[in-house]
Chain A
Amino acid sequence: MTAIASTASLIRRERRPGTTGALRTLALRRLALTARTPRELLVPLLTPVLFALVIAPALKTALHTSASYESYVAIGTVGLLVPLNTFFLGLGVIVDREMGAQRELLAAPVRRGLLVLGNLVVALAITGLQIGTLLGFAVARRIHFSPHGPGVLWFLAAAILLTVAMYGAAETLASRIPRQEEYIARIPAIAIAPWFLAGSLFPITAMPVGLTWVARFLPLTHALALMRYGLLNDSSGLHAIWRMHSTTGSAGLSLAVVALFALVLMRIAIRVFTHAATR
């Protein structure tokens, strides 16, 4: 073999996919696996839809509040849907590790962080689909939203960043927990408990002062306040957190908080996954 032929052979065999191509492949794989697991798509949707369509109207009747309470709770249920959905998708990481192709992916010539990001892309897509479904059900049930131009952007930014943050937490948990049963047992504490404190069903100022302060440190509180600001033009949640006159300033600060959580939790997720996957 000549030197040129030898080099050509070497080049041919040391090929690696580009980052975008690898991310696309990994995301499509995760999507294909998720599509074959209806549980991951439907189960997280059940409780929030029940909240939006049954419990919120029932609360309105029982408490004799104004019609806007249904809208208030409908947005609140998005705050339940996102953690539930992302944590259910996190189960896929454990399945991959226990009886799937995770080792094959770890032996592939792609950066391991892309494995987490590929899953995140699918988590964003499915969560978006589910939020759309939830809001669609709510609108069909004549629950009123009053989105304004930039408001939709606030809503989308908050929903996306909250999903990133929650999926980061889910991946981290899945990388550290050895078995599915143990992972599922932790979901109520991590994914659901904060929902009761984050102003989902009532303003955070309705709680004792200590819990109000706890709520201010939860990304979900900031995300819900942003979503209500965006879709209901209701800035009371933002004012309750920041006590500022500037609504836009408060919204910017809350968005920064959710973005910070998203960034930090995803970085932790990638780090923990890489470390746990290659002891």
Chain B
Amino acid sequence: MIEVEALTKVYPGGVRAVEAIDFTVDPGEVFGLLGPNGAGKSTTIGMLTTTLRPTSGTARLAGYDVAKQPLAARSVSSAVFQEAVVDRSLTGRRNLELHARLWNAGANQIDSTAAALGIADLLDRAVDTYSGGQRRRLEIARALVSDPRVLFLDEPTAGLDPRIRHELLDVLAGLRGRGELTLLLTTHYLDEAEQLCDRIAIMHLGRIVALDTPANLRTSLGAELVELRVDGDGERSLARLREHGLAGDDAFVVGSTLTVPLDGRGAAAAIAEIEVLDLPVTGVSTRRPTLDDIYLRLTGGRLAEAA
């Protein structure tokens, strides 16, 4: 449903926002682009929604080239953008009707879609009276009234408080069963990606540095890892672990915390070997790898900090 080949975007001034990325998304699949701000996620969505021109490469939606057949590509897709993109002085209903007319869809789905998203009672109020969560629901409802084959969601829960965010995640999870709807969403929340997505592409500095199912990504660091907190320079401590063969290339440092995948070794034995080195360790723990670890290994920065 979505085919992206060597897609590249260089902004005027030479900023390379997206660098030759490739991926495909199957019909009905929920695909996540994960990464911090500046990773190139929104630029990718911009190119796929034809609101940004690709510098090179190709992207197709339902077989339509977004650069050569933009009208056809737009006719099969809808988007919910990161920022609020809505006519605030108009009513919710008017916003939905405008979308339906511009996509040449009947207005008969407006009430049912609004009801499904829990905003039926708000439809006849001006949007500038909506809360942030209500407005986001309206934008999702708007994107759905044209019955798109591809729905883009750019940071759909950004800026929402935790309760509204979780409510919205339920709504998004409910979209899964909606026919052949293909979802591409961007996020910098790991739990969101893990909860919603069939596959995840992690982006870093405009490139896709990993692409797989959440489960496979997690297991790429093995079943268990050791986390060491050290006093002083974490990089120097990691270098010493590597000198003694106790850490591989997949180990990484964030600040004064070292994360060392065990790669099949026993945790107790590994900790004993580390203690022999007499590093300035202030704390040791073992745990199962998370998506956060994958991200940190691939990008060298914690998601929440980067975002």
The digit string for A6-34, where 1 denotes a CB below 8 A from any CB of B, is 00001011111100011001100100110
- Cβ of B51 and Cβ of A100 under 8 Å apart? no
- Cβ of A15 and Cβ of B89 under 8 Å apart? no
A residues near B74, Cβ cutoff 8 Å: 107-109
Q: Which of B44-89 contact A (CB under 8 A)?
A: 49-53, 62, 71-72, 74-79, 81, 84-89
- Cβ of B75 and Cβ of A13 under 8 Å apart? yes
A181 within 8 A of B: no
Partner of B102, one of A12, A13, A37, A109: A109
- Cβ of B86 and Cβ of A104 under 8 Å apart? yes
A residues near B71, Cβ cutoff 8 Å: 16, 109-111
**Complex Cα–Cα for A10 and B62 (A):** 9
A101 within 8 A of B: yes
Partner of B86, one of A15, A101, A106: A101
Query: Number of A residues whose C-beta is below 8 Å from B?
Result: 32
Q: Which of A23-65 contact B (CB under 8 A)?
A: 25-26, 29, 32-33, 36-37
Q: Which of B101-145 contact A (CB under 8 A)?
A: 101-105, 142
B147 within 8 A of A: yes
**Complex Cα–Cα for A241 and B22 (A):** 62
- Cβ of A21 and Cβ of B147 under 8 Å apart? no
A residues near B62, Cβ cutoff 8 Å: 10, 13-14
**Complex Cα–Cα for A36 and B85 (A):** 18
- Cβ of B81 and Cβ of A103 under 8 Å apart? yes
- Cβ of A15 and Cβ of B104 under 8 Å apart? yes
**Complex Cα–Cα for A36 and B127 (A):** 13
A278-B53 CB under 8 A given contacts A32-B90, A107-B74: yes
**Complex Cα–Cα for A21 and B149 (A):** 23
Give chain A nearest CB distance to B97 CB in angstroms. 9
- Cβ of B85 and Cβ of A109 under 8 Å apart? no
**Complex Cα–Cα for A14 and B105 (A):** 10
Give chain B nearest CB distance to A46 CB in angstroms. 22
- Cβ of A107 and Cβ of B87 under 8 Å apart? no
A99 within 8 A of B: yes
B residues near A110, Cβ cutoff 8 Å: 71, 102
A105 within 8 A of B: yes
A residues near B86, Cβ cutoff 8 Å: 100-101, 104
- Cβ of B49 and Cβ of A107 under 8 Å apart? yes
B257 within 8 A of A: no
Give chain A nearest CB distance to B128 CB in angstroms. 10
Give chain A nearest CB distance to B95 CB in angstroms. 7
A residues near B94, Cβ cutoff 8 Å: 32
The digit string for A164-198, where 1 denotes a CB below 8 A from any CB of B, is 00000000000000000000000000000000000
The digit string for A62-105, where 1 denotes a CB below 8 A from any CB of B, is 00000000000000000000000000000000000001111111
How extensive is the interface on chain B, given as a class?
Answer: 35 or more
- Cβ of A278 and Cβ of B85 under 8 Å apart? no
B11 within 8 A of A: yes
- Cβ of B76 and Cβ of A14 under 8 Å apart? yes
B12 within 8 A of A: yes
B residues near A33, Cβ cutoff 8 Å: 87, 89-90
A residues near B77, Cβ cutoff 8 Å: 107
A129 within 8 A of B: no
**Complex Cα–Cα for A260 and B259 (A):** 69
- Cβ of B103 and Cβ of A108 under 8 Å apart? yes
**Complex Cα–Cα for A163 and B300 (A):** 57
B98 within 8 A of A: yes
Query: Which residue from chain A places its CB closest to the CB of B64 in the assembled complex?
Result: A14
- Cβ of A107 and Cβ of B78 under 8 Å apart? yes
**Complex Cα–Cα for A103 and B85 (A):** 7
Give chain A nearest CB distance to B143 CB in angstroms. 9
Give chain A nearest CB distance to B182 CB in angstroms. 12
A277 within 8 A of B: yes
Query: Which residue from chain B places its CB closest to the CB of A17 in the assembled complex?
Result: B104
- Cβ of A29 and Cβ of B87 under 8 Å apart? yes
A15-B87 CB under 8 A given contacts A32-B94, A103-B51: no
Give chain A nearest CB distance to B141 CB in angstroms. 13
A99-B103 CB under 8 A given contacts A279-B12, A279-B52: no
Give chain B nearest CB distance to A277 CB in angstroms. 7
**Complex Cα–Cα for A22 and B79 (A):** 19
A residues near B147, Cβ cutoff 8 Å: 12-13
B99 within 8 A of A: yes
Give chain B nearest CB distance to A8 CB in angstroms. 13
- Cβ of A99 and Cβ of B84 under 8 Å apart? yes
Give chain B nearest CB distance to A14 CB in angstroms. 5
- Cβ of B102 and Cβ of A25 under 8 Å apart? yes
- Cβ of A104 and Cβ of B52 under 8 Å apart? no
- Cβ of B104 and Cβ of A278 under 8 Å apart? no
**Complex Cα–Cα for A33 and B253 (A):** 53
- Cβ of B11 and Cβ of A279 under 8 Å apart? yes
Residues of A whose CB lies within 8 Å of any CB of B are: 10, 12-17, 21-22, 25-26, 29, 32-33, 36-37, 99-111, 277-279
4 shortest interchain CB distances as A-B pairs: A109-B75, A108-B102, A109-B74, A17-B104
13 pairs, A vs B, C-beta closer than 8 Å: A13-B75, A13-B149, A15-B103, A16-B75, A17-B104, A32-B87, A33-B89, A103-B81, A107-B78, A107-B79, A109-B72, A277-B51, A278-B52
